Amino acid sequence: MSIEHITAKILDDANEYANDILSKARQEAEEIADKAKKEAEEIEKLTYEQAVTDGAVIKHRKNSVAELEARKKRLAAKQTAVANAVLASVNHLANMKSDEYTAFLAGKVAEIGVKEGQLILNAKDKATIGDELVNSANRLLKDGNLTLSESTMNAKGGFVLKCGALEINSSLEIMVNSLKETVTSDIVTALFRDYEDGYEKV
């Protein structure tokens, strides 16, 4: 075999070997590319799912916050409504007809049962019904010996009964507020029954 033939054989073998190497390299490259693509798709899928999950969590949190704020506002509205209802009750009592108001307060004095002492009223009531209230209360107490105090109190109405060091505060505000716990649910039901079925405790 001549040098030329040997050289040609070597070149042929080299080309065949090179082609084989390149073919395997291309196959490996394709496999790597396919694997990378699948991994990328999987990562993308996981990322999407995570984004959906995160989005759902964020949405749930925002809904929860919005619902909490709405509940706070409803509760605040109910508390305001109750406070206004209580104030309206105090004003209603304070603006009763004079004879009805006097009889109402005299009855409250008689319920206490203290027969000796002084009745302290606000300036308005002291001037308008003071003497009549004392007389009515003493009549209801049978042998009551209450007197009208020279002092006045700062309240919408009602009275403070002072007996020595003891003072019993029966102002209208105290009377109505003492009933607040009892009537709150009824007030809320009456004011909000057309807007919702359930009520938070006020």
Q: Specify the CATH number for the domain of residue 157.
A: 3.30.2320.30
Query: Does residue 198 fall inside a structural domain?
Result: no
Domain that holds residue 102: 97-180
Single-letter residue type at 71: R
What is the model's pTM? 0.57
pLDDT in tens, 171-195: 998 888 877 667 667 666 666 665 5
What integer pLDDT is reported at residue 199 of this predicted model?
44
What integer pLDDT is reported at residue 3 of this predicted model?
44
Decide: residue 191, CB within 10 A, 0-12 exposed, 13-18 middle, 19+ buried: middle
Single-letter residue type at 119: L
pLDDT of 95 over the 90 cut: no
Q: At residue 179, what are phi and psi to the nearest 5 degrees?
A: -95, -5
Query: Does residue 121 fall inside a structural domain?
Result: yes
Query: Does residue 150 fall inside a structural domain?
Result: yes
Please give the tally of structural domains in the chain: 1
Q: Which residue has the higher pLDDT, 16 or 118?
A: 118
Share of the chain above pLDDT 90, in %: 32
User: Once rounded to an integer, what is the mean pLDDT over residues 4-28?
Assistant: 56
Query: Does residue 105 fall inside a structural domain?
Result: yes
